[in-house]
């Protein structure tokens, strides 16, 4: 049963007339969990929109399957996926823990950057440089997973009392705008949305040398979605990636230079992962 205290949006259905293949593999509906991730997924005028929604809408068009979007706080998203309350989780970084109960279908890359409020006389070469020489505080969001080198630096900040964990990016960037935090770690799809809104007018974006582009994509439940359906979804997504359609979705929201930097590894590794059987 859906619990109203965390379910923040009502069902949205997408789909088209199923083909014979789709009729054999499509569930009645696939429940897709999304959360606050900047341009990846956000709420606008009562609707859930963003890059992840664009991806699912195109999967629905190609597959003939129906998908239902449900909104969660980020820290609840994978709890609900593991419990079988949803069938997919979007904007997902791959981890061994999640691989136990779901299959990862990558469609793009993500890379974390360090976003700092401009401060006179202060400049840093890297996240580790900020941790070692700086005195400012970072705010980050609950429920996100980072590269191991970033996690190491965040642990050092926490030990020094310079790290605060909050519920969502609205809070993070609101505090940065008001001067109640000095920076955060986020991807271009996230911080780009808030910068476009006029927040952080005086800020510095510093690529984190300790991090490299990593897969982001969809986690599909192994307990609620049959193996043949997971393979079908992988094949549909593979076609979209091969045609660089997902790259086109990103270009609706993010500048070309950032896209080139983030997608530098190319589509080959994504296609190889989508082609690998479970």
Please state the domain count of the chain. 2
Average pLDDT for runs of 10 along the chain of length 278: 37 45 84 94 94 97 96 94 98 93 96 86 88 95 88 96 93 90 93 77 82 91 97 97 95 90 92 91
- 120/135 same-domain check: yes
- 141/201 same-domain check: yes
Residue 20 pLDDT: 57
Domain extent for 94: 13-110+214-275
Task: Answer yes or no: is 5 within a domain.
Answer: no
Task: Answer yes or no: is 4 within a domain.
Answer: no
Task: Answer yes or no: is 53 within a domain.
Answer: yes
Strand-strand pairing, 138-141 and 163-166: parallel
- 123/144 same-domain check: yes
Between helix 51-63 and helix 227-242 the angle, nearest 10°, is 110
Q: Which of 149, 146, 130, 126 is nearest to 138 (CA)?
A: 130
Task: Answer yes or no: is 3 within a domain.
Answer: no
The domain that contains 126 carries what CATH number? 3.40.190.10
**Chain centre distance of CA 99:** 16
- 165/221 same-domain check: no
- 187/234 same-domain check: no
Distance between CA atoms of residues 92 and 84, nearest Å: 16
Global pTM reads 0.85
Residue 198 pLDDT: 62
Task: Answer yes or no: is 121 within a domain.
Answer: yes
Largest separation between any pair of C-alpha atoms in the chain: 65
Which residues lie across from 34 on neighbouring strands?
Answer: 71
- 102/218 same-domain check: yes
Residue 152 pLDDT: 94
């Amino acid at each position: 049963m859906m619990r109203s205290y965390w379910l923040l949006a009502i069902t949205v259905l997408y789909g088209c007339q199923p083909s014979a293949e789709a009729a054999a593999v499509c569930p009645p509906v696939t429940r897709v969990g999304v959360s606050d991730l900047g341009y990846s997924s956000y709420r606008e005028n009562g609707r859930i929109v963003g890059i992840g929604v664009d991806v699912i809408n195109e999967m629905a068009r190609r597959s003939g399957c129906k998908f239902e979007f449900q909104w969660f706080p980020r820290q609840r998203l994978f709890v609900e996926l593991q419990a079988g309350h949803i069938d997919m989780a979007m904007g997902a970084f791959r981890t061994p823990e999640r691989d136990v109960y779901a299959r990862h279908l990558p469609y793009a890359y993500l890379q974390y950057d360090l976003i700092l409020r401009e401060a006179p006389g202060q400049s840093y070469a890297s996240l580790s440089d900020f941790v070692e020489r700086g005195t400012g505080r970072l705010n980050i969001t609950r429920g996100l997973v980072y590269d191991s080198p970033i996690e190491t630096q965040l642990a050092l900040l926490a030990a020094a009392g310079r790290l605060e964990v909050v519920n969502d990016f609205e809070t993070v960037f609101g505090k940065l705008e008001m001067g109640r935090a000095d920076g955060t770690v986020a991807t271009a799809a996230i911080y780009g949305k808030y910068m476009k809104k006029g927040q952080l007018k005086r800020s510095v974006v510093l690529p984190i040398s300790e991090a490299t582009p990593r897969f982001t994509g969809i986690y599909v439940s192994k307990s609620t979605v049959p193996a043949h359906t997971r393979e079908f979804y992988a094949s549909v997504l593979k076609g979209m990636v091969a045609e660089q359609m997902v790259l086109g979705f990103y270009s609706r929201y993010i500048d070309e230079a950032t896209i080139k930097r983030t997608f530098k590894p190319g589509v080959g590794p994504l296609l190889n992962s989508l082609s690998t059987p479970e």
